[in-house]
């Protein structure tokens, strides 16, 4: 018998297209480079790999020994790359990986799609080796664009149609810290992508201000880096 819940989750995963914007990936990559200096290395879990944008970037890093790409959506062409192992799985459920088996978990723009952020964070912590690194990003509900949307419409900008019901879990920076601390992470650092749109416009704050407006109120996405405590 086909599981209706799994069908619904799969449909939502496919609907998103598995693609995040370039500024999000670029900012997340810079944060990962800083956390793993001098070079990105080890066994990396690309949690919510989508169409494989991050997977392909990781595959070009000589210090990365293996990339485990996990998503509910069907595998893309990145699955055929050397050192890539693609696992099709429901990210709301426990991962088919041993405890302490990866050095890095990268979860770019995925937690907002999932139903229980604390359960997800505990699973990240479980599969990470001691002192392993977590990189995550999610829509920033504290940006002016989202604050205004919530004030006027009662919904955060990234959680209105057509993003809903693909985006179902909205987290503030404080929520992220609480979730990660409660799940056994330490050295939690929250940063922002430095790219965000004006409310109701296609123009970014950065183009309007020649790059001077950045940070929490002017970034559409938030990034967190933490270590397995």
Tokens of 178: 């609480």
Q: What are the structure tokens assigned to 7, written together? A: 């069908």
Query: Quick check: helix, strand or coil at residue 195?
Result: coil
Residue that is written with structure tokens 């990034």 in the block: 223
Q: Which tens digits make up the pLDDT trace of 184-195?
A: 999 999 999 999
Q: What is the per-residue pLDDT for 14?
A: 52
Q: Check whether 124 has a pLDDT greater than 60.
A: yes
| pLDDT value, residue 4 | 56
Summarised one tens digit per residue, pLDDT across range 206-221 is 999 999 999 999 999 9
Q: Report which of 142, 126, 125, 143 is spatially closest to residue 134, judged by C-alpha positions.
A: 125
Task: Supply the pTM of this predicted model.
Answer: 0.90
| pLDDT (0 to 100) of residue 9 | 52
User: Average pLDDT, stretch 96-102?
Assistant: 98
State the pLDDT confidence band at 106, using cuts at 50, 70 and 90.
Answer: very high
């Amino acid at each position: 018998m086909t599981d209706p819940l799994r069908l619904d989750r799969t449909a939502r995963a496919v609907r998103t297209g598995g693609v995040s914007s370039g500024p999000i990936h670029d900012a997340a990559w810079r944060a990962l480079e800083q956390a793993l200096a001098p070079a990105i290395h080890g066994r990396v879990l690309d949690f919510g790999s989508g169409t494989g944008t991050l997977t392909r970037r990781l595959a070009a890093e000589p210090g990365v020994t293996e990339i485990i790409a996990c998503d509910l959506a069907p595998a893309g062409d990145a699955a055929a790359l050397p050192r890539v192992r693609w696992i099709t799985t429901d990210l709301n459920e426990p991962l088919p990986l041993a405890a302490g088996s990866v050095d890095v978990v990268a979860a770019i723009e995925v937690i907002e799609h999932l139903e229980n952020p604390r359960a997800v964070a505990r699973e990240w912590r479980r599969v990470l080796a001691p002192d392993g690194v977590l990189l995550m990003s999610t829509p920033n509900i504290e940006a002016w664009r989202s604050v205004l949307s919530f004030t006027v419409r009662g919904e955060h900008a990234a959680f209105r149609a057509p993003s809903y019901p693909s985006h179902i879990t909205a987290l503030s920076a404080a929520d992220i810290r609480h979730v990660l601390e409660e799940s056994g992470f330490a050295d939690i650092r929250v940063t922002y992508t430095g790219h965000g749109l004006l409310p109701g416009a296609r123009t970014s704050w950065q183009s309007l201000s020649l790059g001077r407006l950045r940070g929490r109120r002017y970034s559409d996405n938030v990034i967190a880096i933490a270590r397995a405590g």
